[in-house]
Amino acid sequence: MELQRLNYIIIIWIISFFVTFILYPFFIKLLYKFKAGKTLRDDATSGWEAKIFNELHKKKAWTPTMWAALILFVVAIIVLASIVLNKIWYLKYSLFNQRETYILLFAFFSMWILWLIDDFLNIKWVGKVKGLTAKMKLIWMFLFSAFIAYWFYYKLWVDYIIVWHDMIHIGLWYLLFMFVFTVFIVNAVNITDGLDGLAWWILVMILGALWVMTFFQHWYIATWLLSLITASLVAFLRYNINPAKVFMWDSWALAFGWLISSIVYLLAIKLWIWVIIIPLFLIIFIELFSSFLQIFWKKFFKRKLFTIAPFHHNLEKKWYAEYTIVMKFWLIQGVLSLISILIFFYQILPLVNK
């Protein structure tokens, strides 16, 4: 049975990878044809002029940003195909499952509206920030984060955290905790997306680690969906490494933040997940807090703490070439992901041996 499930996962991964990889060249040409290119922002999130950022990244202006439309298309087609195959009894389960994938698919596909609006405004040079303002994205982020917390609390009846193997019920406090944590993760992923290929590989390794954990915790349908999405991301590498031919852009960084946080809550139903995610999310948390500290310093001390934030841009300005920073971050994230997986197995081994 386990081997059969693993076969499904491998088949889904291969199909998703090759379909996405084959379609990308045609899709990128289409984006260039319709001039769906990125424009640089005039102001940073803090309201100060984004002069240093524009100096570092002026060569990237007009690079297409709407890459996620293809991933969305591939994921949608394969999910729909799984539903059809399930209806005709060819597959026992579809990728559309209330307990495991409803919230994951919602986190991914709900970004459709936000992505369309944000990219359209950026391409058309609408507004001072050329896209949705930080305030509008923050409102959207709060609404969706609140919905995710609601789903796990009221639909999946999760109101507890697991510490080692003990279940501690915290009631409504879990709602608040999930809301705050989701906002943190979403912002962290978004802020990390600043150099060619940087957020891409970090996301792949985080999702890969979560893939291992969902599989060995028997969340098999969630694992299938993760395989589908991760394969599409891997196919994207060919076109996102420096110099990038297409970008992720803000709204889809937010989508992956919601997806990752939802998977964490799913794992937390059976697992002491919080000790595992400390190393797994270390890089994106450093990126988040470097940006937060920069904003705090500007607001209260009227000066910058760093030359530019987040942390990867500070390294880019002072010491390293872009590809060097990306490669070093990839290496560090790989080690951190491996540590997280080892902690996971160390935690579940006593249960397996019983």
pLDDT(333) > 90: yes
Q: Where are the domains of the chain?
A: 2-349
pLDDT(46) > 50: no
Q: What is the pLDDT of residues 4-37, one digit of tens each?
A: 778 888 888 999 999 988 988 888 787 777 666 5
Contact 314, 308 (CB under 8 A): yes
Q: The tokens 């190393």 sit on which residue? A: 279
- Residue 48: predicted pLDDT: 44
What is the mean pLDDT of the segment spanning 317-331?
83
pLDDT(47) > 50: no
- Residue 242: predicted pLDDT: 62
Task: State pTM to two decimals.
Answer: 0.84
Spatial distance between the Cα atoms of 262 and 157, rounded to a whole number of angstroms: 14
Spatial distance between the Cα atoms of 195 and 312, rounded to a whole number of angstroms: 8
Assigned token pair, 53: 């950022």
